[in-house]
Chains A and B, each alone.
With several copies, the nearest count.
Chain A
Amino acid sequence: MKKALGIIGIFAAIFIVACIFGENFLTGINLMQLTQRAALYSILALGASLVIVTGGIDLSIGSVVCLAGIMTPWLLVEHEWAPAQVIPTVLLMSAFIGLCHGLLVTRLRLQPFLVTLCGLLLYRGIARWMTGDQTQGFMGEFGEVRAIALTKFAIPGIENYRIPSTVIPMIVLAVLIGLFFSRTVWGRWLLATGRNESAARYSGVPTAWLVTMSYVACSLLAGFGGMLFIFDIGSAQPSDFGNFYELYAIAAAVLGGCSLRGGEISVIGVVVGAATLQVLRNTIILVGLSSQLEFAVIGAVLLVGVAADELIRRFNARRLERTGAAASA
Chain B
Amino acid sequence: MPDEKPVLLRVRGVGRRYAGVTALAGIDADVRGGEVLAIVGENGAGKSTLLKILSGVVQPSDGSLEVADASGALRAVELDGVRGATKAGIALVHQELNLAENLDVAGSIYLGREPSRLGWMDTRRMRREARRWLDLVGLDVDPSTPCGSLPIAQRQLVEIAKALSTESRILILDEPTSSLTHREADRLLEIMSALRARGVAVVFVSHHLDEVMRIADRVVVLRDGRKTGELARGEYDRAMVERLMVGRDIAPSMRRAANGAAPVRLRVEGLVSAHRRRAPMSFEVRAGEIVGLAGLVGAGRTEALEAIAGVSPHGGRVLVDGLEVTGGSSVRVRRGIAIVPEDRARNGLFLEDAVSVNMSLAWVDRSSRARLVDRRGERGLVARMIDRMQLRPPHPARRVQTLSGGNQQKSVIGRWLAIDPAVLLLDEPTRGVDVGARAEIHAEVRRLADAGSAVVFASSELEEVLLLADRILVMHEGTVAGELAAHEASEVAIMHLATGGSAAHGAKEHA
Q: Give complex CA distance A329, B25 in Å.
A: 10
B112 and A189 contacting across the interface, CB-CB below 8 Å: yes
Q: Give complex CA distance A202, B174 in Å.
A: 14
Q: Give complex CA distance A324, B277 in Å.
A: 10
Q: Give complex CA distance A186, B365 in Å.
A: 9
Q: Give complex CA distance A324, B276 in Å.
A: 7
Q: Is the C-beta of A13 less than 8 angstroms from some C-beta in chain B?
A: no
CB 8 Å contact bits of B339-359 with A (1 = contact, 0 = none) = 101000011111111000100
* Stretch from A128-136, A203-211, A288-296 forming part of the interface with B: A203-211
Chain B residues with CB under 8 Å of A263's CB are 100, 102, 350, 352-353
With A183-B373, A188-B111, A329-B278 already in contact, the answer to whether A202 and B350 are too (CB < 8 A) is no
* Stretch from A75-83, A191-199, A215-223 forming part of the interface with B: A191-199
- Supply 25 A–B pairs (Cβ within 8 Å), ascending by A: A183-B373, A184-B371, A185-B114, A185-B372, A188-B364, A189-B112, A195-B100, A195-B102, A195-B353, A196-B98, A196-B346, A198-B346, A199-B341, A199-B346, A201-B82, A202-B309, A202-B311, A202-B329, A203-B111, A206-B328, A206-B330, A209-B330, A263-B350, A328-B17, A328-B22
CB 8 Å contact bits of B71-107 with A (1 = contact, 0 = none) = 0000000000111001000001010001111110001
Chain A residues with CB under 8 Å of B116's CB are 184-185
- Measured CB to CB, the residues of B under 8 A from A are 17-22, 57, 61, 81-83, 86, 92, 94, 98-103, 107, 111-114, 116, 119-121, 123, 162, 274-276, 278, 309, 311, 328-330, 332-334, 338-339, 341, 346-353, 357, 361-362, 364-365, 368, 371-373, 375, 415
Chain B residues with CB under 8 Å of A207's CB are 330
Kindly report which residue of chain B lies nearest to residue A199, judged by CB atoms: B98
Q: Give complex CA distance A207, B328 in Å.
A: 10
Kindly report which residue of chain B lies nearest to residue A317, judged by CB atoms: B19
Q: Is the C-beta of A320 less than 8 angstroms from some C-beta in chain B?
A: yes
With A183-B120, A188-B361, A204-B113 already in contact, the answer to whether A196 and B99 are too (CB < 8 A) is yes
CB distance from B297 to the nearest CB of A (A): 19
Chain A residues with CB under 8 Å of B368's CB are 184-185
A329 and B22 contacting across the interface, CB-CB below 8 Å: yes
Q: Give complex CA distance A317, B112 in Å.
A: 31
Chain B residues with CB under 8 Å of A186's CB are 119, 371
Q: Is the C-beta of A246 less than 8 angstroms from some C-beta in chain B?
A: no
Q: Is the C-beta of A23 less than 8 angstroms from some C-beta in chain B?
A: no
Chain A residues with CB under 8 Å of B364's CB are 185, 188
Among A192, A202, A329, the residue within 8 A (CB) of B82 is A202
Q: Give complex CA distance A329, B19 in Å.
A: 12
CB 8 Å contact bits of A300-329 with B (1 = contact, 0 = none) = 000000000000000001001100110111
A203 and B349 contacting across the interface, CB-CB below 8 Å: no
Q: Which of A7-57 contact B (CB under 8 A)?
A: none
Chain B residues with CB under 8 Å of A321's CB are 17-19, 274-276
Q: Give complex CA distance A193, B107 in Å.
A: 13
Q: Give complex CA distance A188, B100 in Å.
A: 11
16 other contacts beyond A201-B329, A205-B111, A208-B328, with CB at 8 A cut-off?
A183-B121, A185-B371, A189-B361, A191-B100, A193-B100, A198-B347, A199-B347, A199-B349, A201-B311, A202-B341, A202-B348, A204-B334, A206-B83, A263-B100, A263-B353, A324-B18
Chain B residues with CB under 8 Å of A185's CB are 114, 116, 119-121, 364-365, 368, 371-373
Q: Give complex CA distance A203, B338 in Å.
A: 7
B82 and A204 contacting across the interface, CB-CB below 8 Å: yes
Chain B residues with CB under 8 Å of A203's CB are 82, 111-113, 162, 329, 333, 361-362, 415
Chain B residues with CB under 8 Å of A200's CB are 100, 111-112, 350
B373 and A328 contacting across the interface, CB-CB below 8 Å: no
Q: Give complex CA distance A197, B352 in Å.
A: 13
Max chain B Cβ within 10 angstroms of own Cβ: one of A193, A204, A206, A321 = A204
Q: Is the C-beta of A58 less than 8 angstroms from some C-beta in chain B?
A: no
B19 and A184 contacting across the interface, CB-CB below 8 Å: no
A196 and B333 contacting across the interface, CB-CB below 8 Å: no
Chain A residues with CB under 8 Å of B19's CB are 317, 320-321, 324
With A183-B375, A201-B329, A328-B276 already in contact, the answer to whether A188 and B18 are too (CB < 8 A) is no
Chain A residues with CB under 8 Å of B348's CB are 199, 202
With A202-B329, A263-B350 already in contact, the answer to whether A188 and B82 are too (CB < 8 A) is no
Chain B residues with CB under 8 Å of A199's CB are 98-100, 111, 341, 346-350
CB distance from A178 to the nearest CB of B (A): 13
Chain A residues with CB under 8 Å of B357's CB are 188, 191-192
Chain A residues with CB under 8 Å of B339's CB are 202
Among A189, A196, A264, A325, the residue within 8 A (CB) of B17 is A325
Q: Give complex CA distance A321, B21 in Å.
A: 9
Chain B residues with CB under 8 Å of A209's CB are 330
Among B17, B113, B121, B350, the residue within 8 A (CB) of A192 is B350
Kindly report which residue of chain A lies nearest to residue B373, judged by CB atoms: A183
B22 and A325 contacting across the interface, CB-CB below 8 Å: yes
B102 and A192 contacting across the interface, CB-CB below 8 Å: yes
Q: Give complex CA distance A328, B309 in Å.
A: 26
Kindly report which residue of chain A lies nearest to residue B368, judged by CB atoms: A185
Nearest 8 CB-CB pairs, A to B? A204-B333, A203-B112, A206-B330, A192-B100, A325-B17, A204-B112, A199-B98, A203-B111
Q: Which of A161-203 contact B (CB under 8 A)?
A: 182-186, 188-189, 191-196, 198-203
B101 and A324 contacting across the interface, CB-CB below 8 Å: no
CB distance from A161 to the nearest CB of B (A): 36
Chain A residues with CB under 8 Å of B351's CB are 195-196
Kindly report which residue of chain B lies nearest to residue A196, judged by CB atoms: B100
Chain A residues with CB under 8 Å of B274's CB are 321
CB distance from B202 to the nearest CB of A (A): 19
Chain B residues with CB under 8 Å of A327's CB are 20
A324 and B100 contacting across the interface, CB-CB below 8 Å: no
CB distance from A83 to the nearest CB of B (A): 33
